[in-house]
Structure 1
């Protein structure tokens, strides 16, 4: 999938999300971040424009590190611009799409926000295999994404087909998230719902 096509929407992505989804989209990105502790290692994949990156940098402190992996160069630049000079050294920015080339550290946290819904099932399986090799036995994973909700089917259809047209999104539907996490050895810890459950933030623990 040509994920770098998201460069085409980088300049209006946040405004579009606010117009269509309201404040729930932004609020969902901050869910469970207060559980991250000083000194921890975070793998943040598909962070987009990184509006929550300053908070996360404050959470890990100077002893921790965030590896921010993003396919869109333009979105990554926006994310860099979110940080203060005091926070920059806490983040390693990686412009890549190949999950097999993820950093080889053992991470305490994995964060994917509005990422899995643009990956094929095969790509999701590949991502889990790569992450399981790079996470501690006590690791947590914060998933934020869209979930099937009958009352939002029309808007969901429009969004999926818009991004299929603009970015070559391979999906016609949403992934079976919970099945993937169970299959690859992650246990649900807690979740928060937004917009009637159409958006969820879910915290899993490696089991």
Structure 2
């Protein structure tokens, strides 16, 4: 899967995000963690440097986490956050398709991951991820969204130029991720917006029956 190689920006990724978006980019990714239940099996795809693992550990509940990240530099930084007190983490240096076929999870987290793909590829990615989620499972999505604000449109264009140059991601524009998930019969349980509406965080629930 050509979703880019973030090894070149791993050392500065979190600082750069914080410089541009402040704490908003953190708040957006943790706002729905309250939905996590003890004993959950969680799949995190494209987890980056792994700071969210510390947030999960702070929930003080036993959780089994599978952490999938294709960038070796990113996953190395995530692994250095060990040991954790409450959660157990299996690290997989691969794309989401590196997850064992037939395995299902209670919770799926894809933060700033879906925006890496062009639309035709994104549709395949969404279908593949859908199969990894148990019926009635939760899908936590945080990502940038298109808005009518000129400065936000300019910022999105600048981000894509930067990441296409530094990581060779395939996408060059945002898609309507929420609409695509609803079309897959996912139920939108919650939606919150951050950074003047440029970032949204959703909590989706997979139907019990197809």
Whether TM exceeds 0.5 here: the answer is yes
1:129 to 113, 127, 130: 127
Distance 2:205 2:180 in 1: 13
Of Structure 1 and Structure 2, the greater helix share is in 1
Q: Which residue is equivalent to 1:72?
A: 71
2:146 to 115, 138, 148: 148
TM-score by length of 2: 0.89
Q: What residue is the counterpart of 1:18 in the other structure?
A: 18
Unpaired stretches in structure 1, ≥5 consecutive residues? none
Unaligned runs of 5+ in 2: none
Q: Distance in 2 between matches of 1:176 and 1:40?
A: 28
| Contact 1:36-1:60 at 8 Å conserved across structures | no
**Offset, 1:126:** 2.0
User: How much has 1:116 moved relative to structure 2?
Assistant: 0.4
Q: 1:88-99 alignment to 2 at 5 Å?
A: 90-97=88-95, 99=96
Aligned residue pairs total: 204
Please list the CA deviations of residues 131-168 of structure 1 after superposition, one character each: whole Å capped at 9, or x if unmatched: 22222111110100000122211111111111111111
TM-score, normalising length: structure 1: 0.91
Deviations 1:60-86 (A, max 9, x none): 834x31111001111111112223353
- In 1: Cα distance, 2:36 partner to 2:194 partner: 21
Aligned-pair Cα RMSD in Å: 1.8
